Amino acid sequence: MNQTEIYGTDEIALIKKKCADSIYEFGRMFQIMRELYEGFGMYYPKECNTNYRDSWFHYRKLYVKKDKISVLNEKYGLEEHLLRDVKDAQIYFLQQLGEWLMLWCSYKKYFYYDRTDLPKYIAILNHTALEEKNWVASVWKQCGSDRKLFASTCLYQFENNIESDMLQVKLNELVCGIKNLILDLRLGGVDIYRPTDNTYYLEKCISMYNNLCLSLRETGMLYLISATELIWNECGKKNIETN
Amino acid sequence: MERVAVENIFTDEDKRFNRFLVDCALESQQKKNIPDRRGGKMSMGNHLEYGLLKDRNYDFTSEVLTQFRKKWGISE
């Protein structure tokens, strides 16, 4: 193939159509990933948006290029940006979630709260509508803007009313599942593996999200997950050691 | 595109509250000179990794890791 070989109008139209379909299909996948991010209040990575934007630049160039080499370059560039985009979105989501869960797996190792103030925590919990699904939001309301008190009360509630052997098993199971999925995604990158179905990993992420939500909802653990970093800031063992 | 549906467990109010909690954490981390991850930074917070990496022994037992070890000649 050399620079002078050019595509006919119909061939170019077909390539443009395929690329446009990919942009649309991946756009829908990003929307779903966003839903997962929003569930836990996470920020969707900026890098993913810029990769998506860059795929459009390649698409636009298809309208001015005709020679085969340039057209194929643009086509592959477009695919590469879309694939990188969705992979980044999935890995970042899983990493963030995995790190949060890992802290709860060994919470005694990572968290500490002042046990001399137990009556305070109990009083707050007594005034909290714990039967409400999102008990964490109720605790926040009770604590006003006292973050330390909020973090300590959440830890107290976790230790006394949520934590159990069964929960620990489930958390470990989820963390292992998340780690394996991340590893799978990263190894796919090393091997330049392309699943024939682009939604393969997306479906794995959705299943992971659904499994996590459904299995942790009953105990109330689900609502603690997004508070992990706030609690870590206030009651993390490392923070206490350095303060 | 047929797909598994996302379970609609969090209400809009829950999602807003979760975002609020994440924002609170990020704000107080900024005060400690930890870079803001809002909308970016692919690397997960170093502040957490300090605690986590210390005890991490990469306890994977999956086939994926075995394959990885084999491929790159990493011994256990």
Q: Which amino acid, one-letter code, is at A50?
A: T
Give the Cα separation of A188 and A178 in Å (integer): 15
Instruction: Using the CB atoms, write b or e for A180-190: b if 16+ within 10 Å.
Output: bbbbbbeebee
Q: Which residues of chain A have pLDDT under 70?
A: 1-3, 190-193, 195, 238-243
Determine, for residues A46 and B40 on separate chains, whether the beta-carbon distance falls below 8 Å.
yes
Q: Give me the helix-helix angle, A46-61 and A68-105, nearest 10°.
A: 170
Question: At A215, is the secondary structure helix, strand, or coil?
Answer: helix
Q: Which residue has the tokens 């797909």?
A: B3
| Chain B contact present for A226, CB below 8 A | yes
Tokens of A173: 């199971």
Instruction: Write out pLDDT tens, residues A127-180.
Output: 887 777 889 999 999 998 899 999 999 999 999 999 999 999 999 999 999 999
Residues of A in contact with B57 (CB under 8 A): none
Chain A positions touching B24 (Cβ under 8 A) are: 147, 230
Residues from chain A contacting residue B37 (CB–CB below 8 Å): 43
Residue B28 pLDDT > 70? yes
Query: Are A48 and A30 within 8 A, CB to CB?
Result: yes
Q: Do A43 and B44 touch (CB under 8 A)?
A: no
Nearest residue of B to residue A102, measured between CA atoms: B52
Residue B33 pLDDT level (bands cut at 50, 70, 90): low
